[in-house]
Structures are given as structure tokens and as C-alpha cells.
Structure 1
Amino acid sequence: MQAEPTRAIARWFDTANRAVMRVTEAVAVLLVIAETVILFTGVIFRYVLDNPLIWSDELASILFIWLSMLGAVVALDRGEHMRLSAIVNRMPDKWRGWFETMAALVVCVFVAMIIVPAYQHAKEQMPITTPALGLPDGWRAAALPVGTALMLLAAVARMARHATLKQFWLGLAVIAAIGAGLWFGRPLLLAMGNYNLIIFFVVLVGLCVAGGIPIAFAFGTATLAYLALATQAPLQIVVSRMDEGMSSLILLAVPLFVLLGALIEMSGMARSLIDFMAALLGHVRGGLQYVLLGAMFLVSGISGSKAADMAAVAPALFPEMKRRGSKPEDLVALLSATGAMTETIPPSLVLITIGAVCSVSISALFIGGLLPAVIATLAIVIVCYVNTRKETPARAQRAPWRVIGRNFVIALPALALPILIRTAVIEGAATATEVATVGIAYTIVVGLAMHAVLRHLDFKRLYPMLIETAALSGAILLIIGMATAMAWALTQSGFSASLVGLMHGMPGGATGFLLISMVVFIVLGSVLEGIPAIVLFGPLLFPVARSMGIPDVHYAMVVILSMGIGLFAPPVGVGFYAACAIGKISPDKVMSRMWLYLAALTVALLIVALVPWISLGFIK
């Protein structure tokens, strides 16, 4: 809002918000560190000293909801919540600014409506005390009203910085008109029965997502509107479901693995992997394409974030690949394909999310995800071979064995980390959350040891890295919380029972159900990304799969690979546009190069779906 006196108001909001956000970021960083230290200490006392700390998990759980909410606040202030931006970004600047204003207004309206219910929820939790520490549970639940209040400040300040007065009033008028239309149309919505779910959870969510509103707030807005207009349920249910969805201790693996991935990159271990593989294969025809493929396989196994994987690998390899004659659009297509095929590699955040929200063993998912990823990798290898078989041999000379050996020694700690993580999980030595803390401690020790020799660490990056960890974790966990509330509303409406009946009636039995699920999750993965799609539909479809005799791990692998294909499939896939942004190339130039890769990945998906042993063969 740029006219006087609105400029003064905007400056005041901006100044206040900056001060508050600096404090919020500092607290979020301390919470990331505290969670890591508490859980690692618990691991040491449990497995090394054989003297479990009965309070460690409880304290970690109390701090976790605070980390989730404050991380979500930081992500909102930084504009880093997951959303579909492809449609808005194609619009003229004038309309793009208006949609940004609309997104901020919707966030403001939503959080303003749940602040009071969040406070009431925290107040009701105060008489309940935690079993080990004897603390009022309201101290934990207070994170919800505090977080929503800070989100309101962040959203208002962001809107004040970027919106014009005209955009603000026009956006407010549109929201008021939609709200009035739904309110006065309430008798008709009630008369529609469950068909009104289409209005709230298809039309309204679709409009919000297409308009660039963060996915978490799109889910929350639709759920709030449904409960207020089509049911008699109190709005406090949204908050209680959010609390339930964001408080599972299993989900603590999310921020811990995000931190582990960031430390891998900062310590230089990711680069050492790439240097070793480049020395080993860089001289063969198309060798660097195989290096990129292998690097994504290994890095995905330890970072768990697709954007982080691509950002770590591409800058290290693209310049040399371009120098050897590779076209930028071909490189981005390969990067997208490798991003899609690594979705099942542990410790993928999608695997952890499925385990948490669908009651599937995370250890079993970690074991079951490796072979499907190998099948998908081989499919991409075949495409790489076909694409490069007519190329002239690489101009690079074969690296001397001495250089290969030196790079192998440097990369050995990084190569050992995925083995350490997977062995600990497979042997049952630690849970997914605990093994993340072990990986963090290992990476810190190795990184400091390498720094003593190479002097390569930039410790100034540590604080921003911890802020980024909190923000990314908060964005993911808020989606899980909002989608949990939305899934509860769908379940209470009877939709889930109808869905189960419909799926049971599909022809083809279990095989037909798997094929339908593939199509559904390819579409969902392209629009919602993996985590929100699985949180919303996983609790509905996994019970159907179980009733048809499909093992949880097998169904999970089919679902994850399907979402991976959708995530990187043009023209909608969000991951595809992220790869284009990292490669700094127009999506229009990449689309035509993607189809052969997607066809190969689809064949790999069919093989995994039709041969359950690929997912289940190594599970005890």
C-alpha cells in the first residue's frame, strides 16, 4: 500500500515484523539445536550407557510443536511455503501482484479466524500434565495461538510491503464476495448433502492452489469453510486436528533429516562424492550423465529433500557437462528424471510421512524403498545410453588411478554415511528419528576433521542454514497439520466410506486398484507435491489397499514412484519447474526432452507394481 498515510503504516508493520522475526528465527534455531542434542543424548543413554532417559522423548515432543509453528512463521515471512506458482508466474506483473495480495489476504483471514480457537485449545490442555516431567500440556499447546498470531503479523507485514492500495481493496472485495456467496448459499450447500464436498474440497481448494495460495493455507481455508457452513462442528476442531497432525514424535525425523542434508552439503561431503564419481566415469561417453545419476542416488539417500538434492548436484556438474557439449535443456531434463526416480530412497521425507500418517513401519519402508529406486535408476540409465550412444567420445582424459584413489579416500566418509544410516535402521539399532541424530553427529565430526586439513568450512553459513532448516521443516509440518484437519473433515462427512466402497467395486481386483492408484497419485503428485498428497489421501486409500490384500510397503512404493513421476512431469509438475529454475533454463525448451525419461520411469513403475517382491523381498 504505497499512498500516504499508508506508507507510514507499511513502514511501521515492516519494522515491527523485522524485529519480531529476528527473535522468532533465533528461537527456532535454538529449538533445532535443542531437539538434536536432546534426542542424541537420549540415544547415547539408551544404547551406549543402557540407562534410558524417560523424559527425553517427552521434552522433545513439547519443543517439537514449538519448532513446527515457529518454523512455519519463518517460512511465511520468507515466502517459502509450498505452493503452485507456475500459473501465477505466467501472468502479467499487474495481475501477479494482485494474486500475491490475494494470497496474503487469505492467509490473514484464515489465521485471524483460528487465533481464538487456538487459545481455547491451549487453555483446555492446561489441566493435563505430562507423565514424566509433570508439566502442563497447555505449555506445549500454547505454540498454536502464539504461532498463528505471529503468522498474522507476518502476512500483514508482507502484504503491506508489496501490495498497492488498489490491489488490497480489490482483493478484500473478492474475498468478501466469495464469503457472502457461500454464506447466503448455505441452505443450498446443506441440501446438496455430501456433494457439497466438491464445492469446498475441489473447487475452493483448486482455486486457492491455482491462485498461488500456500497449499497448507488452501487446505485450512477449505476445511474451515466446510465446518463453518456445512456442519455444526466447532472451529476448534481444526486446531485440535492440527495439533494432532503436527505433534507425532515420528515426524521429528523431518527437521533432523533436513538438517542432516544441509550439513552434508556444508561439510563438503556431497561434493566429495561427486568428485569421486567424476574421476571414475568422467572420461567415458556420456560419463557425466551417469555421474549425475549416481550423485542424485547417493545424495537423495542422505538429504531427503528433492530441491536440496538438485541444488547440491547441478551446480557441481552442469558447467563441466556444458563444456563437453551437453545442451542445457538436456541436462535439466535428466535432472528432473533423476529427481523423480529417487523418491523412494531412504530417508526420503515422503517415506517418513507415509510411516507417520498411514501407520506403516518406517524401518520397513526404508528397506523396501531401495530396490524400486534401483529399478527406476536402471530405466534412466537405459535412456542415457540411448541418448549418448551416437555422441563422440568424451574429450576428458581418463583420471589416473592415483587421482581416483585419492578422491575415493576423501569420499569414503560420505560413502559410509548412507550405509551407516541404513544398517542402523535395518538392524533395528535405532529408529528413523534417532538415526538422524547419529548421522548429524557423524557429519559434524567428519566435517570438522576435513576442515582441519582442507580449511574449507564457512561457519558464517551455519546460522542461515539452521534458519532454513526450521523454515523448511515448519512449511512441511504445517501442511501435515492442515491436511490432517482436512482428512478428518472428509472422514466425518462419510466420504472415506464412500471412497472405500467405490474402490472395492472397481474391476480388476488388487491389480486394477494399483493401476487406478498410479493414475490418481501421478495427478495428485503433479498438483500437490508428495507430502500434502500423501497426508490427505494416504489415510483414506491405504486401508482400502490393506482390505484387498496389498502389503503396505508395496503399496507405498507404487504410490511414491507415481507421485515422483507426477512431481516432475510437465506441464504441471512443481518439481519440474524447480529443476528448470536450478538449471536456469526455460521450461518450454525442456518439455520435449522429458517424455522419453517419463516413459522409462512409467515402465519401471509398472514393473514395481506388478512384481511385489521388488518392494518386499528384503524385509524380514
Structure 2
Amino acid sequence: MTMTPEPAARRLPGLKGFDDALTRITEGVAALLVAAEVVVLGSSTVARYVLHTPIVWSDELASLLFLWLAMMGSVVALRRGEHMRLTAFVRNLAPGTRSWLDTLGMGLVIALLLTLLPAALEHFEDLSISTTPVLEISEGFRVAAVLIGFALMLLTAVDTVLRQASLFQIAVVAAGIAAAAAIFWWFTPVFEEMGNANLLIFFLGIVTFCMVIGAPIAFAFCLGTVSYLAFSTQIPLTIVPSRMDEGMSHLILLAVPMFILLGALIEVAGLARAMISFLVALLGHLRGGLQYVLLGAMYLVSGISGAKAADMAAVAPTLFPEMKKRGNDEGDLTSLLSASAVMSETIPPSIVLITVGSVTGVSIASLFTGGLLPAFVGMAVLCVVVFFQTRTEDMSQAQRFSGRDKLRLFVIAIPSLGLPLVIRTAVVEGVATATEVSTIGIIYSVAVGLLVYRQFDWKRVYPILVETASLSGAILLVVGAATAMAWALTQSGFSRQLVEVMTMVPGGKLGFLLTSAVAFIILGSVLEGVPAIVLFGPLLFPIARLMGVDEVHYAIVAVFAMGFGLFMPPFGVGFYLACAIGRVSPDVAIRRVGPHMGALLVALLLIVLIPWISTGFL
């Protein structure tokens, strides 16, 4: 049996104090930035819609704070091990082997950050001489976030290696990385002569290797891009922090941290529990009633949090105990929970839909309108499965609510039921932007929690702000890294070659859609929705337009297919999240996924074959 070596930190007694101080500083600053964004955006929204006197500098200040939030959130996510990563290949390895791979993965992160720091410094110096148009301050105040973020991530990565790896492991990994870099440098003339064939080495080989060993996806993308630029082109590495800055600075992406924060607040303020209690009273006495409640609750709350784990965690713990009492198989319940997350992928305000709009230029209001019916189709096919699975359910102990109780619970639930309705209506109708609506939702949730449900726990606010920053940073760093990678692929001519290949797919428009659906299922199982769409959206959406496919229809197909891949075992990480939330072994749940995933595959085919499902209400 392989033993885990003694960490090097044991020989460095002062490291724990440094680690604690770095944690407090980074988490405190990240939480403060989230709170500052809420204040700035909230003030701007109130000034615009209540006082009718827009604050002209608010967007500029929000943009400045946003890049800092993205970078500081990325630091916190790295410290907490919360960056998106593929764990399917390393999950069941022996602790000793896993320790070596973790050390190698973090060693590659350190090597990457050491390479990018000089480029980030040059990017800072280039932009610091410019001034912002409204506030008239140096752009250096904004882009310094990239430089300082890289430096803090480097400190974090070194700190992590020292805490988790032995000195021997560190020495071996460092020597191996240095040797690999020397070999790549030696073969630089060969790579330059290979033309686009070298893309297989850098963007397939290196990126895949990094993801297989469990390295964070964002850093895998960056390492592939930096290696390609350094060893096969004459392009300066300053383009990497520049493109990452550009990718993370879209103001529309401000909706990401705001909706993540909103999703946490609706649970703290009691809105989610009130909504579920009413649905249980309405449907809980029917055969399969609690399964229908689960689907309905996921339809209502999904997408608001920005994280599928948060959506599932808001619903499942309330319902699963009673469902098990009724004799439901725990594998079926976990499979249904996982499938409900797939079903709700296109429900606004989905973070993936917001990302699609940001990187492809498709109207977010149109995406929000187009996403509701496809999700309903997914829910309908799952309801059919539930109907047949629960025909023999024991209802003798099911609680029945009187009409008076149902009315009482409905009145209590009105504030919680109104929130998703207000959010989706405001964005779809174009009353406000997604970011403004998320801010309104935050103010609304806090007010309802304090004044209506009176269960707002202020002690949970700081941890929620830190968690919001961490998840936002994990998402936004992937967006930035994928933006740089997509730029490099475009510069190489790969996008032109991809257009030529995809336009040759047999079957015309339908063949292209089916091929795309399969591709996005695979991408979703490996990359998750956000990185997959940022990387391939700018490449594939122009092809869809060229093929005559409606861009909203194509976006819905892509998002639904990626959700299917994300929750499809054995590689889909979302499936394992559902198992963890349902407290069921993956070995038990994996045997029960067939009916639910089969139904969703039918729903996906319907969405592909019937464009009206996505575009009928536009």
C-alpha cells in the first residue's frame, strides 16, 4: 500500500501563521468587494429606476471593482480547492498516488504563474498610462488586479504545495517540470514547422493531461495557451493577461456574482423553504407527489444561485427524508435530483445563458425567453417517468392538507413565488438588465427575510459573501482563460478549418445540430457549461448562423446538451454532486439513471427537431 509522504510544512513552523494570515486577508478583501459591488449596483439601480437620475460613473466603478472581485475570488477558490476540475480519473486512486498527482498539478500551476507574472506586469505598465473616460483615473487601478491576483495565487499555490507535499515530492516534480520545459524549448523549431498540427500537442495533449491529473481547468487552459505561444509562435505572452482581462471584464458577467449571492440569500431569508412547503401541501398527497414537488421547485429556483449544487441543496434535504419514508428507492431519488438539474439548465437566469450572451452576442432577453419552454419539455418527460415509477407508492402515511391550510401556505409563499417571476419577467421584457435585476432581487430577498419571514441570520452573511467570491472567481477565471485560449485558436487558423469541417457534415442543418448536440454532451461531461461555451461558443455560433440555424435555438440545444453531459455518469461531475447532496453512494445511484437520462435524451431530440420549442415565444 502506498503511503502519503510527510508534508514539507512540518519542517516550517512559521508556515501556519502565514497561511492563516493570507486566508483572512484574501477572504476579507473578497467579501468586501462583493459587498461593494452590491452597494454600487444597488445605488445605481435605485437612482435609475426610482429617482430617475442615473449615476454616470457607476458602471465604470463597478467594472473596476469587478476585475478585482474576479481575481481575488480566484485566489480564494484556489486556497479552498474550489476551482472547476475533472476528478473522474483521480477520484478513486490510492492516497499516495493522488498526493503525487496533486503535487504535479500544483507544480504546473506554480510554473504557469511564474511565467505569467512578468507578462502581467508589462500589461499593467502598458495600460497604466491610460485614463478611464468618466472617473479620469489611471487604468492601472483596474488592471493591477490581474498582476496582484497572479502574485497572490502564486503564494497560495506554493503554500498549498508546502502543506500537502513532501520535500522529496517537491524536488522531483520541480525537476520534472524543468526538464519538460527544456525539451519543449529544444523542439521549438520543430513545432514551428509543424503548422497547425502542433495544436494537437498544446491544446489537446497538454490541456488533456492537466485535466486528467486533476489540475484546475482554468489553469489547464492557460498552460496550453502559454505553451503554444511560447514554443511555437513569436507572439509575446502579454497577450494572455490582456485577453484574460478582456474576457473577465464584460459588464454583463457582473450578473454572475450577483445571482450567486441572490441564490444563497433566498435560502437564508426563508424564501426557498416557504416555496417548497406550499408545493408539498398542494401535491404531496398524490402518488409521486413529492417527486413532482422536487421538479417544480427546481424549475422555480434553478438558475438563481449560479451553481447547480446550490439549487439541489436548496430542495433535496427538505424532501428526501419523507420520500424515503414512502418507500422510494434512494437511487431513483438521486437520479431524479440529478436529472432535474439537467432539465432546468435553460431556465433563466441561468449563468450559462448569461455567459452565452456575453461571448456570442446573442440577446440575453431572447435566451431567457427561449429557455423556459425547453425546460418545461424536460420536466414533462421526467413527470412521465415519475408516474410509472410511483404507481405502487405507499400513500397511507402521507399528510393531507385542508383547503384552509393550502391557502395559508400559499399566502406565506407569495413573496417567495414572486421573486423568480419578477426576475424573469423583468429581464425577458427588457425592463432592466440581468445585473440590475439580480441587484433588485438581493434587496428584495433581504427585505422579505427581515420583514416577512423574520429569519434572516446575519451571522451567515460573511461566509456567504466569501463563498460568492470563491464561486464567482472560479467561474470568471475559466472565462478569462478560455477567452485567451479561443483567441490563440482563432489566430492559428483553427476556426477557419473548423468551419470547413462542420459545413461538410452530412444532413445539412439537422446533421449539424445533431453533431453539435453530441459534441456539447461530451464537452459538458469534461469541461462543464461555462468553460465549454466560452471556448467553443465563438467558434461554433458563426457556423450555426452560416448553416441557417437560429442562434437562440442553437444556444438552447448547446446548453441543454452540456447539462446532459454534466450530469451523465461516469464522467459528469454534476452526477456526483447530486449523490453527495442526496447522501447516496454513486454505485447505488448509477444503476438507476437509465430511465431519467433516457427521458432527457428524448427531450433533447425534441428540442433539436422542433425549433419552435426554443423560438416560439420570441
Q: Same fold (TM over 0.5)?
A: yes
**AA aligned opposite 2:585:** S
Q: For residue 145 of structure 1, what is the aligned residue in structure 2? A: 147
1:515 corresponds to:
514
Report the Cα offset of residue 431 of structure 1: 0.5
Matches within 5 A, 1:112-511: 112-393=114-395, 395-452=397-454, 456-511=455-510
Alpha-carbon contact 2:260-2:304 (below 8 Å) kept? no
Deviation at 1:451, TM superposition (A): 4.4
Q: CA RMSD in A?
A: 1.5
Residue pair 1:305, 1:348 contacting (<8 A) in 2 also: no
Q: Measured at CA, do residues 4 and 81 of structure 1 come closer, stay the same or move farther in structure 2, by a change above 3 Å?
A: closer
Distance 1:394 1:147 in 2: 58
Q: Separation in 2 of the partners of 1:384 and 1:178?
A: 53
Output the CA distance in 2 between the equivalents of 1:155 and 1:437: 34
What does the per-residue CA deviation read over 1:340-364, in whole Å, with 9 as the maximum and x for residues that have no partner?
A: 1110000010001000011111111
- CA deviations 1:356-412 (Å, max 9, x no partner) are 011111111111100010011101111111211233435213212222222211211
Instruction: For 1:527 and 1:3, locate their aligned partners in 2 and report how far apart those are by CA, in whole Å.
Output: 32
Q: Which AA in structure 2 matches 1:331?
A: L
In 1, Cα distance between the equivalents of 2:109 and 2:517?
Answer: 33
Gap runs ≥5 in structure 1: none
Tell me the SS of whatever aligns to 1:499. Answer: helix
Q: Residue 75 of structure 1: CA displacement?
A: 0.6
Q: Which of 483-492 and 382-391 deviates more? A: 382-391
Q: Is the CA contact 2:129–2:139 (under 8 Å) kept in the aligned structure 1?
A: yes
1:17 paired residue among 16, 19, 25: 19
Residue type of the partner of 1:551? D
Deviations 1:509-535 (A, max 9, x none): 111110000000000000000000000
Within 2, Cα distance between the matches of 1:66 and 1:5? 32
Distance apart, 1:3 and its partner CA: 6.7
Matching of residue 7 in structure 1 with residue 13 in structure 2: no
Cα distance between partner residues in 1 of 2:473 and 2:269:
24
1:273 positional shift: 1.1
CA distance in 1, matches of 2:590, 2:137: 55
| Alpha-carbon distance in structure 1 between the residues aligned to 2:130 and 2:7 | 50
SS at 1:86's partner residue? coil
Is contact 1:304–1:346 with CA below 8 Å preserved after alignment? no
User: 1:270 & 1:241 partners in 2: Cα distance?
Assistant: 39
One-letter amino acid of the counterpart of residue 480, structure 1: V
Which secondary structure state, in structure 1, belongs to the residue aligned with residue 82 of structure 2?
Answer: coil
> Aligned partners of 1:186 and 1:323: how far apart in 2?
64
8 Å contact kept, 1:209–1:218: yes
Partner of 2:546: 547
Residue 601 (1) aligns with residue 608 (2): no
SS across alignment from 2:447: helix
- 1:2 CA displacement: 7.5
Shift of 1:548: 1.3
Give the Å deviation of 1:482.
0.3
User: Which whole-Å CA distance do the structure 2 matches of 1:596 and 1:284 have between them?
Assistant: 21
Tell me the residue number matched to 1:534.
Answer: 533
- Determine if contact 1:17/1:153 at 8 Å carries over to the other structure: no
SS in structure 2 of the partner of residue 374 of structure 1: helix
Amino acid paired to 1:552: E
TM-superposed CA distance for 1:16, in Å, is 1.5
CA distance in structure 1 between the partners assigned to 2:123 and 2:427 by the alignment: 37
Structure 2: how far apart are the matches of 1:142 and 1:369? Answer: 38
C-alpha distance in 2 between matches for 1:13 and 1:202: 37
CA contact (8 A) 1:283 1:395 kept: no
Q: Secondary structure at the match of 1:87?
A: coil
Q: Is 2:609 aligned against 1:614?
A: no
Instruction: Tell me how far apart the structure 1 counterparts of residues 453 and 575 of structure 2 sit (CA, whole Å).
Output: 35
2:568 is matched with: 569
Deviation at 1:426, TM superposition (A): 2.2
Aligned to 1:33: 35
Aligned partners of 1:432 and 1:370: how far apart in 2? 16
Stretch deviating more after TM superposition (529-538 or 171-180): 171-180
**Is the 1:286–1:394 contact (alpha carbons within 8 Å) kept by the matching residues of 2?**
no
CA distance in 2, matches of 1:373, 1:140: 39
Shift of 1:450: 2.9
Q: What letter is aligned with 2:338? A: S
In the TM superposition, what is the alpha-carbon distance from 1:269 to its structure 2 partner? Answer: 0.6
Give the 3-state SS of the residue equivalent to 1:175 in structure 2.
Answer: helix
Report SS of the residue matched to 2:397. Answer: coil
Q: Which is further off, 599-608 or 402-411?
A: 402-411
After TM superposition, the runs of 4+ consecutive aligned structure 1 residues lying more than 4 A away are 1-6
Question: CA–CA distance in 2 between the matches of 1:365 and 1:159?
Answer: 43
1-structure distance, mates of 2:7, 2:542: 58
Letter in 1 for 2:10: R
Separation of aligned partners in 1, 2:45 and 2:579: 41
The answer to whether the 8 Å contact 1:242/1:482 transfers is yes
> Secondary structure at 1:88's aligned position in 2?
coil
Aligned to 1:560: 559
Asked whether the equivalents of residues 270 and 453 of structure 2 are also in contact (C-alpha less than 8 Å), the reply is no
Q: Distance in 1 between matches of 2:434 and 2:453?
A: 28
1:303 is paired with a residue whose SS is: coil
- Cα deviation, 1:19-50, whole Å, max 9, x if unaligned, reads 12212211111111111111121112222222
C-alpha distance in 1 between matches for 2:382 and 2:282: 19
- More divergent stretch after superposition (12-21 vs 537-546): 12-21
**C-alpha distance in 2 between matches for 1:184 and 1:578:** 43
**Higher mean Cα deviation, 391-400 or 115-124?**
391-400
Shift of the alpha carbon at 1:325? 1.2
- 1:606 CA drift (Å): 1.2
Q: Give the TM-score taking structure 1 as reference length.
A: 0.97
Mapped partners of 2:571, 2:60: distance in 1: 42
**Preserved contact between residue 341 and residue 561 of structure 1 (Cα < 8 Å):** yes
Answer yes or no: is the 8 Å Cα contact 1:127–1:137 preserved in 2.
Answer: yes
Secondary structure class of the residue paired with 1:505 = coil
8 Å CA contact 1:546, 1:552 repeated in 2: yes
* Counterpart-to-counterpart distance in 2, 1:89 and 1:415: 39
Question: Is this contact kept in 2: 1:521–1:562, CA < 8 A?
Answer: yes
Q: Deviations over 1:314-358 (max 9, x none)?
A: 111111111221222111111110011110000010001000011
TM-score by length of 2: 0.97
Cα deviation, residue 255, structure 1: 0.2
Distance 1:317 1:186 in 2: 58
List runs of 5+ in structure 2 lacking aligned partners. Answer: none
CA positional deviation for 1:280: 1.3
Q: Distance in 1 between matches of 2:184 and 2:337?
A: 44
Q: Distance in 2 between matches of 1:497 and 1:377?
A: 38
State the AA in 2 paired with 1:362: I
Q: Cα offset for 1:172?
A: 2.2
State which drifts further: 468-477 or 394-403: 394-403
Q: Which AA in structure 2 matches 1:61?
A: S
Confirm or deny: 8 A CA contact 2:9 2:163 kept in the other structure: no
Question: Aligned pair 1:580/2:579, yes or no?
Answer: yes
Letter aligned with residue 323 of structure 1: K
Post-superposition Cα deviations, 1:134-158, rounded to whole Å, max 9, x if no partner, equal 0111110000110000001111111
The Cα of 1:618 is off from its aligned counterpart by: 1.3
For 1:371, what is the secondary structure of its paired residue? helix
